[in-house]
Structure 1
């Protein structure tokens, strides 16, 4: 049976990739993407599906509860997939209020809308799903020898960002146990891939190399993260929605633990390799050290560590593997090559994101 999905944060990095994945796999389903188009939400991320008859876009903040209710009601949405969030840890340290407003109050606004339309008004009292996308950062940090995070690992968030996501997780759980809303939650490891906003580590390193800019490394660079290719994340959410138990939580990980400094060095080596094999890149990016047969790794610059920087994250995906038959299809080595190739082939996208020109388009279209 075809589904009708409302995807919040649909113009963001993970949300847009999820929409691309879903529409390719389930072409008869209908998707309504909702996004406030803040700095990290970019309508250009949705251009590959924009003309599809089964796709539509709504410019809306998740705090606009009445508008969300109207969408749920008029479109007869049966599945809400909630990606919308403030997600950059550094920004949460400098300005935590926006994270509490979006991640906590915004999630609560969506839960209230879903409860009202699906349960109180009886539109879909049985056949509905509110899927909440969360993060491994709610579990806190790990020591080098600690086992990876499991679904029953106690929450211990260490930044305003992770604290706000932890609160949203608890709200989602409460709406299931108190009101009977049919919910599920997935906690994922660090995502990477196409359309990743350039402030994040991997796209920042790629684009800085191209313009001979420093590659900033916090502290000693030995912070370890578990990396998940974004399409593998979409695949995991798909399985949770179709096979996961209502009210349950599933950890989705890439089984790819890497220290930040090792990621940066790998990207440097792969970028140098790209320039060596493709003379056209030398003409497009003459400032890059790789264009002059110099090592990109020389751009690495160590900077003061950020406050409360968690040392290690790692996901234990055994529950998703055994219950849902989930397996990531990309290793970090294959996924990072795909990511680099995408950024080199899509300069117009990331250049417009970095100079803000797409915001002018948004203003003309929606304001």
Structure 2
């Protein structure tokens, strides 16, 4: 039995990882989370308290991070500022959390010689033309926003600490996630909750931007596979062959919610809006034998819609503030 420290474990992907870890293994888990607006304590309410605890604190707090890393066997670093629009409005928190926070974690991992897994994003690679080959682990970095630039920088820090100090680390870069417990500022839950509230969806630009969607449960399963079987020092891309344009996603959501599929509006595009992301996850498949379980995107969307309908008490408290923030931009 091991002890896991999961940073950002009250957020969307981190929280789902903690739930999966406790369901599948007998380990003890501590979540370190700053509990910013994107976190939600209630995501963790049903977890077994005899094997789980939540510590409120920042990954930038050097003393706290060293103390907590010393008490655990494995560190899984999900904590990040991750919203592109917010990074354009104010990049400072992204630099602080994504770069300085990762540095603090790495120094603690180095000092205490712990196993480390770093969770990153496909956005570090920039974007692709419609007919261009998918990203691989060898793709050059070309971030487009303060968010993706700071995540790219954090990946480089991890690789430097592996090479310079010999820390036992792996990295994963994942495509766009969807599923339960995702904050309503994100694309899919925002459209679902707006439609629940009778609000007409909007799309940036032409709606032709393509994202490679993966269910969050598949992402968390892949992270655990990398921790258990991945080669130290390696990077693994996580995807599920889920390429869809934003227009296609909106139309699938509208159809699933029994609305006309053209009941949306186009608005001016945002700066630095990447055209297409697409992941080649064959290394993960070939080396570790991993495959996604949620291959039917339309069915996954329908299940996600049902979750938001059934769990209004979870997302309702943050909805008004989110929409007010968008309206002020």
Q: TM-score, normalised by structure 2?
A: 0.95
Alignment partners' CA distance in 2, 1:354 and 1:87 = 18
| Counterparts of residues 250-329 of structure 1 (less than 5 Å) | 250-272=236-258, 295-297=259-261, 299-329=263-293
Residues 222, 260 of structure 1: 8 Å contact kept: yes
Alignment partners' CA distance in 2, 1:56 and 1:355 = 30
Q: How many Å apart are 1:298 and its aligned residue?
A: 5.2
| Counterparts of residues 2-81 of structure 1 (less than 5 Å) | 2-26=1-25, 28-49=26-47, 51-73=48-70, 75=71, 77-81=72-76
Q: How many Å apart are 1:221 and its aligned residue?
A: 0.1
Q: How many Å apart are 1:213 and its aligned residue?
A: 1.1
Q: How many Å apart are 1:255 and its aligned residue?
A: 0.7
Alignment partners' CA distance in 2, 1:246 and 1:271 = 45
Instruction: Output the aligned Cα RMSD.
Output: 1.1
- Once the two structures are superposed, what CA deviation does each residue of 1:237-286 show, in whole Å capped at 9, x if it has no partner? 011001100000000001110000110010011011xxxxxxxxxxxxxx
Q: TM-score, normalised by structure 1?
A: 0.85
Alignment partners' CA distance in 2, 1:169 and 1:157 = 12
Alignment partners' CA distance in 2, 1:46 and 1:172 = 28
Unaligned runs of 5+ in 2: 322-329
Alignment partners' CA distance in 1, 2:207 and 2:286 = 34
Alignment partners' CA distance in 2, 1:337 and 1:153 = 33
Q: 1:289 corresponds to which residue?
A: none
Alignment partners' CA distance in 2, 1:7 and 1:338 = 27
User: Does residue 82 of the first structure (1) align with residue 68 of the second (2)?
Assistant: no
Alignment partners' CA distance in 2, 1:221 and 1:298 = 12
**SS of corresponding position for 1:48:** coil
- The count of residues paired between Structure 1 and Structure 2 equals 320
User: Does residue 204 of the first structure (1) align with residue 202 of the second (2)?
Assistant: no
Q: 1:92 corresponds to which residue?
A: 87
Alignment partners' CA distance in 1, 2:292 and 2:261 = 29
Residues 11, 41 of structure 1: 8 Å contact kept: yes
User: Does residue 354 of the first structure (1) align with residue 282 of the second (2)?
Assistant: no
- Once the two structures are superposed, what CA deviation does each residue of 1:216-235 show, in whole Å capped at 9, x if it has no partner? 10000000000010000001
Q: How many Å apart are 1:23 and its aligned residue?
A: 0.5
Alignment partners' CA distance in 2, 1:42 and 1:202 = 18
Q: Rg: which structure is higher? A: 1
Alignment partners' CA distance in 1, 2:163 and 2:87 = 30
Selected match of 1:115 from 110, 118, 128? 110
Residues 134, 186 of structure 1: 8 Å contact kept: yes
**SS of corresponding position for 2:257:** helix
